[in-house]
Chains A and B, each alone.
Chain A
Amino acid sequence: MTEEIKEILFTEHEEYMINMGPQHPSTHGVLRFEVFLKGEVVTRLVPHCGYIHRGIEKMCEKDTYPQIIHLTDRMDYFSAHMNNEAVCLCVENALQVEVPERVKYIRTILAELGRLASHQLWWCAFGMDLGALTTFFYGLRDREKILDIFEESFGSRLLHSFITPGGLMHDVHPNFQNRIKEFIKYFRKKLPEYDQLLTGNIIFQNRTKGIGQLSKEDAIAYGITGPSGRGSGFSCDIRKKYPYSAYPYVQFEEKLSEVGDTFSRYKLRIDEMWESMKIIEQLVDNIPEGDYTAKMKAVLRLPEGEYFQKVETARGELGVYIVSDGNKYPYRIKFRTPNFSNLFIMNKLASGGKIADLVAISGSLDLIIPDIDR
């Protein structure tokens, strides 16, 4: 290549900017990427969020602790149980309440079912992002079974508000255990199909392998947690590190992958589904009899001080930071949401890739926009 052509090709300063979002099929919500392109190659991108900012933290300052629960559902709506649990654990720890064993077991089962449902939906959406439209229906078909379990016990499918400080809203349905066992049996047959349809596919592998390399150091520095962080070898599973609820009683593996590309994040989530099923199987037969809630006062007043509770949601580490001034309302509540941190690595990962890679990467990070904006 002569110098002249090189100059024309590589020293152009004009950038081609396109807006991806707020209404775009691949941002899974109202998120906007300002993408700067050079041909097909992304040079840099600027995320803009806030389109669905509802001020949950401000609203919580006017709500009593039981009233906060229903707002946490609406942050990461696919991990509604885990969000509820985080606030409840924080309040229980502050009040030094010991919840019954039955509650711990049920909470853990619900969290894992929620994780399964969330990962299923992620799988279908990820397939869609890459253009395999059929995955969407297979994933939703299987997720429907979990939602039916939820609906039978709590009356709602997505936003349950089922866990309250001290225990549960009410006891689970008598069918609960049988239905879960049925579902596990069913899903153990269906999950290998996911692999056949997408994981092994040569087009899929070419699209994901080596794309969006995230090193362990970057993952820690940027605070990437959850399956996205573990895909880079960052051991950040709260369930293992700081076990809560019934996690100390169960045997499971923290899946880690050292590669750190989009495919390893994908594979990790598939593996996590197997682990979740293992956890549920260990717990579902041994739910102890007992009360579904501990004795709680009518009005909860947290002692003055600051409390922090970490919980592993489907997308990473959810932290609840409550500052109490002894009143029945929290003085300040802050949710350290996993997606907030996970989003801002996008610029680093997607720069230098193609537009199609950008879509694959944002899909593999599994972003839920209301969780970012809160």
Chain B
Amino acid sequence: MTSVIYDFTPLTQSIDQFLTKNLSQGWALTIELVIIGLVFLLFYAVIGLYLVLAERRVCAFMQNRLGPNRVGPGGFFQTIADLIKLLLKELIPIRRADKFLFNLAPFIVIIASFMAIAAIPFAKGLHAIDFNIGIFYVIAVSSLGVVGILIAGWSSNSKYSLIGAMRSGAQIVSYELSVGLSLLTIVIFAGSMQLSEVIQSQADGWWIWKGHIPAVVAFLVFMIASTAETNRGPFDLAEAESELTAGFHTEYSGIKFAFFFLAEYMNMFIVASFAATMFFGGWMPLHIGGWDTFNHIMDYIPPIIWYFGKTALMIYLIMWFKWTFPRLRIDQLLTLEWKYLLPINLVNILIVAFISWKHWHF
């Protein structure tokens, strides 16, 4: 492939070689882990904070407002100021709450979203770990967050929280199916569960083009289901501020609340980057068959820009959902999953399998 010019593999490999040459195997691994951990911690904080700002600006523009624009140029430091405020806020202890679980819950939520980023390929050679079952891993890990939500709702000794947590449980258990099945269509097309190979398979065209209508259907289903899985948009029943005040995190304050808040945005980022990776070729530049000059120019745009551009587009789509639609009711939410998304998905997988078998995709 021509996009080798932006390959990060030599860089990471040279660091690895440098460390293993000078240190023992164990120490080298530890230092690598620490470096990766620090990088991701920083990345997590920055992305989380600026997604909050982005959401606030996007929704403001949709609502004929300006949004935060006072702190820094164009409100650039608004969320940092918010974070400082949240850090300084009092952590209100709840009487007769299960103290241990109450304090544990935000960490479970945030760890779950943390683990998922590890598998995301940002550019060629730029990912923490390239599992051969990457998709499976992400699906498994991202649904861990619901445990945190359930614990939060149960332990905070509030009726609103409990209802919110139970709703969230029902929601994630059902929508996990659709997310998995819609990703499975691409797995069938690509013939691999390894994320780097899925991306490589899109070098000559993204799956959303190559996969005919079934890929588009799978994409729509994935967007709907993953929005539901992140407790966002029209599916924010677990929070449902007009019904349950704030749902499962009603009783949380200060930085513990910020953890939930941050995790929600990170989950959105993960979901969006997954949609970009699976359906829009991840960091693969846009190639159109036959237009060689065009393809060449596209190759000079760094893959990291391609990746973040596509992800931003997906994030915008999810925000657009949230700021347009009314919230669903819990029974309608389950109806949507079990009566619409799941059957459509199953039929879709059959069609995909057929196409794949006949090699009708490009």
Contact = CB atoms under 8 A, between A and B. Distances in A.
Contacts of A357: 329
A206 to B, nearest CB: 6
Interface string A116-133: 000000000001111111
B330 A24 contact: no
Interface stretch (B58-66, B254-262, B285-293, B310-318): B58-66
Contacts of B167: 40
B63 A130 contact: no
Interface in B213-255: 234, 236-237, 240-245
Given A131-B234, A131-B240, A16 B328 contact: no
Nearest to B159: A18
Dominant secondary structure of chain A at its interface with chain B:
helix
Contacts of B160: 18
A37 B167 CA distance: 14
Q: Interface residues of A toward B: which range?
A: 20 to 34
A354 B243 CA distance: 10
Nearest to B233: A131
Max count, chain A CB within 10 A of own CB: residue among B234, B243, B330: B243
Interface centre among A37, A204, A356, A358 (most CB of B within 10 A): A356
B326 A198 contact: yes
Contact of B330 (A197, A354, A359): A354
Given A131-B242, A134-B63, A203 B163 contact: no
A207 B332 contact: yes
B64 A25 contact: no
Contact of A207 (B59, B63, B329): B329
B324 interface: yes
A345 to B, nearest CB: 20
B90 interface: no
Interface string B178-189: 000000000000
A137 interface: yes
Interface string A222-237: 0000000000000000
A201 interface: yes
Contacts of B244: 355
Contacts of B163: 18, 37, 40, 355
Contacts of A133: 59, 63, 323
B243 A359 contact: yes
A344 interface: no
Contacts of A356: 237, 240, 243, 327, 329-330
A25 B234 contact: no
Contact of A138 (B59, B63, B242): B63
Contacts of A204: 326
Interface residues of B, number: 28
B325 interface: yes
A263 B244 CA distance: 23
Nearest to B62: A134
B159 A206 contact: no
Contact of A203 (B63, B159, B326): B326
A352 to B, nearest CB: 13
Contact of B324 (A25, A128, A132): A132
B64 A203 contact: no
Contacts of A177: none
Contact of B326 (A25, A37, A40, A130): A130
A203 B325 contact: yes
A203 B117 CA distance: 32
A197 B63 CA distance: 12
Contacts of A40: 163, 167, 330-331
Contacts of B159: 16-18
A201 B330 contact: no
A348 interface: no
A131 B332 CA distance: 14
B326 A24 contact: no
Contact of B245 (A25, A130, A137): A25
Contact of B64 (A17, A24, A137): A137
B245 A207 contact: no
Interface in B48-100: 59, 62-65
A44 B64 CA distance: 40
A130 B159 CA distance: 21
A141 interface: yes
Given A132-B327, A207-B329, 19 more contacts: A17-B159, A18-B160, A40-B331, A127-B326, A128-B242, A129-B242, A130-B242, A132-B326, A141-B64, A197-B324, A203-B327, A203-B328, A206-B328, A207-B328, A355-B244, A356-B240, A356-B243, A357-B329, A358-B243
Give 5 nearest A-B pairs by CB, closest first: A131-B327, A137-B63, A130-B326, A132-B326, A356-B329
Interface of B: 59, 62-65, 159-160, 163, 167, 234, 236-237, 240-245, 323-332
12 contacts: A25-B242, A26-B243, A37-B163, A40-B163, A130-B242, A131-B325, A133-B323, A136-B63, A206-B328, A207-B332, A355-B163, A356-B327
